[in-house]
A and B are shown apart, each in its own frame.
Chain A
Amino acid sequence: MTASYHMLSGISAAPGVGMGRAYIHRKGATVISRRRISASQVDAEIERFLNTLHMAGDDIRRIRRMVASEQGEELAQIFDAQLAMIEDVQIKEQTQQWIREKLYSAERAFSVTLQQMKKMFRQIENEYLRSRLSDVVDIENRVLVRLAGGETHGLQSFRSNVIVFAHDLLPSEMVQLERRQVKGIVLDSGGTTSHAAIIARSLGIPIVLGTDSGSRRVESGSEVIVDGNGGVVHIRPGEDIVREYRSQMRRQQRHRRDLDAKKTLPAETSDGLSITLLANIDLPKEIELAVDNGARGVGMYRTEFLYLNYRLPSEEEQFRAYAKIVEAMAPAPVTIRTIDLGGDKLSHVLDVKTEDNPFLGWRGLRICLDEPGLFKTQLRALLRASSLGALRILLPMISGTQELVRARALMEEVKDELRESGEPFSEDAELGVMVEVPSVALMVDRFAPHCDFLSLGTNDLTQYTLAVDRGNSKVASLYDPFHPAVLQLIKTVADAGVCYEKPVNICGEMAGDPLATVLLIGLGLNRLSLSPGLIPEVKEIIRSTDSAQARRVADACLSMETGEEVRSYLEDVAGESLPYWMRSEHRA
């Protein structure tokens, strides 16, 4: 730790700039007194323990209610596992036994009990159950702090602007962040698809991940600037840096106001080609943001969040979530991606054995086809919601047409079941394929006849085409969606869309990158799906683009040798039309 200025670098996962004082969020490490009580104090000590459990349970219920009303039921369910644990009979009995027999204080008895539980939890082979250890740690802290006479401050009671530093934040902690006070988040760990990143984006809080030991290299109360655009964190910045960022933030606000003023303008190139801008969302509550930013539909609702809780979502729960989105957007279309579990995402929900190559392993549709019960529950919920608006079902992680054929057969089975039980659904619900494995792009002429639409997932397409795990810092620099090989695949898919008259969406991060906009239009894509917050920015670029010139730009890019060459060419072409923070003098 140093008292002077230093900078941390990491991965930007939610854009924006935030300034505030460092708050270091640490878990555990409460000091437990080893004192013993006298035999006459046993009953009083047990009563104190049980009362405290009760209060801690009330604390959790209160937070749960708050989260449910502010952020929705699906996030609030994160706390259900903790509620069940705090009422656990084994914890209660074991703790009382230590108090009674060993004359331990309530703190020590409870702590010893949980030490044993945690030890057993660590030995569980099932990764999902083992991951509930974080909930055990959470309740341990809560009860111990309460026993010490304190109240758990949690992350919701800051009085001034703070930047939260932590090794990692649980979803249960993320949802408690007080948006008005928390101006930024810096985590030691994490990838851009982690839940912390997803929630930060939905809350609009800048976040920098993967700073390695960032939380140990800052002192509580230090002045900090989080630059979520460049993925850097300035600790104790000098006057010049503060001044630079203040003016950047002013420009950001001014720029935002300018864009707001143009919110209702159509997404059309200067020569009148209309581009459909759709929103990528993770939570139903993000629809408001999407509509507010001018989205003409949802291009991808990722359903993984529903599967994050301590249990699988029932058909009813899924139906409610899907219905909410479909109804809110109707008559605009909503594309919902079936669960994309596995890989770096949510392998722990299913009992996936540790795989040597999770990205090449049992994930996405592969799991769904092997677990038809699980898949059909989701399909039933989706089809039922299709009666309420325009719903499209998107299948992730397909590599061969036989998988698509099997998925469609299962969908037909579900339709038959729904017809039999008289449940309404739309016969027009469309089925589409994610293009993220190169085989699909290369054989797109054989996929197109079997599906209703195609959706380019450029993040995974890039990883699989270039054989690069972007989460591995040793090779991450080789990850480049602007690589001409990736562009060639995108072009192939866009052309097939025209030829077979099937709509082609692009929903990877590239769709929201203002540097890519002209190129994508030139490659023939006219349906871009991106984070709601990026829509105004991308629309601004579309409006200043000429489609004939965009085609020339795309042709030039396709003939280049490296992604770097492509990007620097695009920067030159875009020049002043790029948002100020994208221009090279502002790039990290």
Chain B
Amino acid sequence: MIDKTVVITNPLGIHARPAALIVQEAAQFAAEITLSKGDVAHINGKSIMGVMMLAAENGAEVTITADGDDEVEALEKIAALMQSNFEDTV
């Protein structure tokens, strides 16, 4: 099990579309993906409802945990995505 903490830089935070993109990405991996922010912990990274409820805003610190055979690649991909601007400001 590995984890990484990222800071959300998208000015609009993780609203519905970024949530959908994260969920799509997470679904590519066998590893279990969980997200936490402050006292909101153990959010299933493969659930759009979960990721939306995380309500991560610009500047929020989110810890991603990946657990499974492909955890290294999963963590890397999801961390990169969460630090992007989700095509909001191409």
Residues of A within 8 A of B (CB): 80-81, 84-85, 87-91, 117, 120-121, 124-126, 128-129, 132, 136, 310-312, 314-316, 349-351, 371, 373-374, 376-377
Contacts and interface: CB of A to CB of B under 8 A. Distances in A.
Given A128-B15, A314-B88, A374-B89, 20 more contacts: A81-B20, A84-B16, A84-B19, A84-B23, A87-B48, A89-B44, A90-B44, A126-B15, A129-B15, A129-B55, A132-B16, A310-B17, A311-B88, A349-B15, A350-B12, A351-B12, A373-B88, A376-B89, A377-B88, A377-B89
Nearest to B90: A315
Interface in B58-77: 58
Contacts of A373: 11, 85, 88-89
Contacts of B12: 312, 349-351, 374
A310 B15 contact: yes
Contacts of B50: 90
Contacts of B87: 314
Contacts of B23: 84
B25 to A, nearest CB: 13
Interface residues of B, number: 26
Interface of B: 11-13, 15-20, 23, 44, 46-50, 52-53, 55, 57-58, 85, 87-90
Contact of B90 (A124, A129, A314): A314
Contacts of B90: 314-316, 377
A120 B51 CA distance: 12
B79 to A, nearest CB: 21
A85 B15 contact: no
A376 to B, nearest CB: 7
A126 B89 contact: no
Contacts of A316: 90
Nearest to B20: A84
B37 to A, nearest CB: 12
A582 to B, nearest CB: 44
Nearest to A77: B17
Nearest to A380: B90
> Which of A117, A312, A373 has the most B CB atoms < 10 Å from its CB?
A312
Contact of A351 (B13, B19, B47): B13
A129 B16 contact: yes
Nearest to A128: B15
B53 A124 contact: yes
